[in-house]
Amino acid sequence: MSYPKHRLLAVALSGLVLGIAGEGCGTQSADSSSGRLLFIQKCGTCHQLAQAGTKAQVGPNLDKAFAAARQVGFDSDTVEGIVSNQIEHPRSEGISEYGPGMPADLVTGQDRVNVSAYVAKWAGVPGAAPPRVPGGPGAQVFADNGCSGCHTLAAAQAAGTVGPNLDKSIADQSRAAIEESIVEPDAKLARGYPPNVMPSNFEQIIPRAELEELVGFLATAAKQGSSRNGP
């Protein structure tokens, strides 16, 4: 599918704005792994990006947009600056041919640096896809949605500490309860964890079939982890 010239021009103009508004954005050290998790949580409900495993079509398909930009000579540093500038100065109102506006302050500070670096690394790269992990489809959904960044789960070799240790917290839960903890994370909080930490939009960004695979994987893996590790 060819990319319209007027859209390439829009991308190029964004690069010119970069010279004024985004100059020096690369001075902060970026963590593209953290950027991937943030992208999935904050941007994946609107944008398609193959390496993130997101398929939403509310906003522009970033692979198509930046594949075209790379074809006309934009390198990753330039793409990073464009993305950073578009996040910091979004077209936040109305609907245009590019889709609805993007919210202001979607990610800020170091988070914006990390997301920009991640998108610059992977958007429009031929053959980009989510990292493959062992353990079956549910384990892949767990990995694709960045769950290991927050949770401990032995079966996924995950050691996150932001959220509950799943080997302990959901080992005795039913599949229905596990699903509720994913799609309505603040409905029943694990002891010692505050509300509004886990994203509440996983039901929107994870397709139904994949959500069921994730729940099945968690139900089995947590029980196994609990039995191995003890109480």
**Predicted local confidence at residue 51, as pLDDT:** 93
Domains and CATH numbers, the chain: 5-122 (1.10.760.10), 137-229 (1.10.760.10)
Say what the pLDDT of residue 15 is.
Answer: 42
Of the candidates 34, 32, 52, 42, the one whose C-alpha atom is nearest the C-alpha of residue 204 is 42
Q: Taking Cα atoms as reference points, which of 91, 89, 76 lies closest to residue 26? A: 76
List, for residues 21-60, the tens digit of each pLDDT value.
344 444 579 999 899 989 988 888 789 999 998 888 888 9
Q: Does position 117 have pLDDT exceeding 90, yes or no? A: yes
Task: Tell me what pLDDT residue 230 has.
Answer: 54
Query: Is residue 14's pLDDT more than 70?
Result: no
Please give the C-alpha separations between residue 114 and each of 12, 48, 89, 145, 160, in angstroms, as whole numbers.
22, 18, 16, 16, 18
3-class DSSP state of 187: coil
Rounded to whole angstroms, what are the CA distances from 151 to 17, 132, 141, 191, 209?
A: 39, 19, 14, 15, 22
Regarding pTM above 0.95, the answer is no
Q: Which of 3-7, 102-106, 123-127 has the lowest mean pLDDT?
A: 3-7
